[in-house]
Amino acid sequence: MREIRALIVDDSSVMRKIVERSLRQAGLESLIVLEAGSGVEGLELLKAKQVDLILSDINMPAMDGLEFLRQLRSQQLATGVPVVMITTESSEEHVSQAIEAGAMGYIRKPFTADQVKQKVVSLLPAL
Amino acid sequence: MTLTLRDSVHLVSDPGNLNSSVSEVFETMLGVGCEPIQSSASEFLIGGFESVTAVVGFGGILSGACVIACKELSARQIAGRMTGMDFDSVDDIVKDAIGEICNMIAGAWKCKVPELAANCGLSVPAVITGRDYNLHVQSPEFKIFQVYKSDEAIFQVTIVCDGLL
């Protein structure tokens, strides 16, 4: 199995750990996790590091997940890297805003490890 | 046509929606059941004890807040179950965990009513610790209050609405 580098962006350190645990339960054993506590931090990190997958919260202070996505695209960072939004905001409007901004997947909190697995496997089929 | 929640107040204020939201969050994120219990007994209330309270605000078609409050021990038990860690005190991780539980309950609760899901936003959680504080809302449109038990942890959840379009 190839090594996967995942960036988890969430202002909650507890949620970052839970997402990481879910990824490991999804079978991503060769997983390297990078963490960012905000969209701003995530952008800075992506200027220096390459990743295979990004999972981001939406509702964050300073820069929310949608703006993070827009900045990612406008600054041409992590081009081609699938982004999954993990959030309590799950209305159709929020989902379409995320898709428009470039998200390739959407997981609603609360979530199970299985839901994370299905989403990640669909986006990283080479696993 | 102006969007209004006035015709669906009975749905929004239905305590069953809160019960199922709390249950969904605990079963999914903590892997443990959660049941409402009789709230009249003073032993379950947090007044006078060191406690942890998380607040997530609602804005948009409904304004108000979702508030979760519990004694310190219950907060540590909930955070422990959520993270797989042991906590001797209410540190930043415990506060973060209770804030996220509140966030998920608020999100799950508003998704029970489609108009609310689409037209009501959530604030980021705020967490308060201490003792002898009260939540005051003048003339709320409605208020739902329930005490829950999950494993050994007991906590109270309040949905208070102070404005409704």
What is the reported pLDDT for B44? 57
Structural domain total, chain B: 1
C-alpha distance from A44 to closest chain B C-alpha (Å): 22
Q: What is the pLDDT of residue A9?
A: 97
- B107 in a structural domain: yes
Task: Give the tens place of pLDDT for each residue, B10-38.
Answer: 888 899 999 999 999 999 999 999 999 98
Checking DSSP bridges between strand A105-108 and strand A83-87, what pairing results, if any?
A: parallel
- CATH number of the domain bearing residue B123: 3.40.1550.10
List residues of chain A with CB under 8 Å from any CB of chain B: 11-15, 17-18, 21, 59-61, 87-93, 108-112
B89 within some domain: yes
Q: Inspect the interface and report whether the beta carbons of A14 and B29 lie closer than 8 Å.
A: no
Question: Contact A109/B107, CB-based, under 8 Å?
Answer: yes
Residue A55 and residue B158: Cα distance in Å, rounded?
Answer: 31
How far apart are the C-alpha atoms of B4 and B126, rounded to whole Å? 28
B42 occurs within a structural domain? no
The better pLDDT of the pair B165, A108 is held by A108
pTM score, whole prediction: 0.91
- Average pLDDT of span B95-123: 93
Task: For residue B1, tell me if it sits in a domain.
Answer: no
Interface A-B, measured as beta-carbon pairs within 8 A, has a size of 60
Interchain pair A88, B121: CB under 8 A: no
Please check whether residue B75 lies inside any domain of the structure: yes
At residue A82, the pLDDT reads: 96
- For the domain made up of A4-122, the CATH class stated in words is alpha beta
pLDDT at B146 over 90: yes
Q: Which residues of chain A have pLDDT under 70?
A: 1, 125-127
Share of chain B above pLDDT 90, in %: 70
d(CA B86, CA A37): 23
Across chain B, what does the average pLDDT equal? Answer: 90
What SS3 state is found at A91? Answer: coil
Please answer yes or no on whether A12 and B96 come within 8 Å at the CB atom: yes
Determine the residue of chain A that is closest to B115 in CA distance: A91
pLDDT at B43 over 70: no
Q: Is the pLDDT of residue B41 over 60?
A: no
